[in-house]
Amino acid sequence: MTDNRLPHFQACYTSVVHDVMRAMELRNFTLPPRITPLQPEMTLGGPAWTVQGRVEETADPHETLLAWTGLLSKAKPGHIWTAQPNTHLIAQMGELSAETLHCKGVLGCVLDGGLRDANFILKLGFPCWRTHHTPRDIVGFWVPTGTDIDIMIGDVLIRPGDWLHGDRDGMVCIPGEFLDEVLDKTQIAMKTENMVRKAILEGVDPQEAYLKYGKF
């Protein structure tokens, strides 16, 4: 079932979501700048479905592919595949996996790791955030250790029930218990920014605009 908050959330932009959370005195919610969008023009927002794994250099290639396809089978529609692979040596997403997730209704992926088949994924239009590209895959090298669990990306704790929001400016994690408050305040802040923008375009002094609207 699609969360009815999704379209409102996806219409926000990350810098304002960040500013709202800062004003709420939340901490450690901005993902590290090494994680960037494959498609900077796209916005990705929604609940996180978390994946964690580890390097296992002696793993059987067949068993690693069984485990990987099992992960794809478990992925939740209407969620963001959010992975902490605990290695930057391999790609954590490629064309066939992205096609599978896209067809299942997964919203996109956020990887603290690599991606491959970038040109195919660009044509597909499946939103991906990653750290780098590499042709090396998981076969015979990497195994999952958990899904729908707490993971860390940089100093950001991402839990089942938390939401992510990202655009070309970066990505933030919104704790689930604050989601409605953050969404309400972000929508108000965006309306206020529109008034500030209008004032600036009409020639109002920036300090005067800030003092009038309390935002800049």
Measured CA to CA, the distance from residue 118 to residue 184 in angstroms comes to 35
Same domain, 161 and 189: no
Measured CA to CA, the distance from residue 84 to residue 173 in angstroms comes to 14
Q: Domain range spanning residue 191? A: 183-213
Residue 113 domain-assigned (yes or no):
yes
The answer to whether the Cα torsion of 10, 16, 19, 20 is positive or negative is negative
Amino acid at 101: L
- pLDDT for 8 equals 86
Q: What is the pTM of this model?
A: 0.92
Residue 1 domain-assigned (yes or no):
no
Same domain, 37 and 125: yes
Same domain, 13 and 89: yes
Same domain, 52 and 114: yes
Measure Cα distances from 32 to 16, 47, 70, 131, 181 in Å: 17, 19, 29, 10, 24
Going by their DSSP bridges, the two strands 128-130 and 156-158 should be labelled as unpaired
- pLDDT for 2 equals 62
Total tally of structural domains belonging to the chain? 2
Which CATH number do you get for residue 36? 3.50.30.40
Residue 116 domain-assigned (yes or no):
yes
Same domain, 127 and 76: yes
Same domain, 123 and 157: yes
Tens of pLDDT along the chain (216 residues)? 468 888 888 889 999 999 999 999 999 999 999 999 999 999 999 999 999 999 999 999 999 999 999 999 999 999 999 999 999 999 999 999 999 999 999 999 999 999 999 999 999 999 999 999 999 999 999 999 999 999 999 999 999 999 999 999 999 999 999 999 999 999 999 988 888 888 889 888 889 888 888 878
Same domain, 115 and 204: no
Residues contacting 122, CB < 8 A, separation 6+: 38, 39
Measured CA to CA, the distance from residue 124 to residue 134 in angstroms comes to 19
Same domain, 119 and 204: no
Same domain, 202 and 101: no
Residue 122 domain-assigned (yes or no):
yes
Same domain, 40 and 145: yes
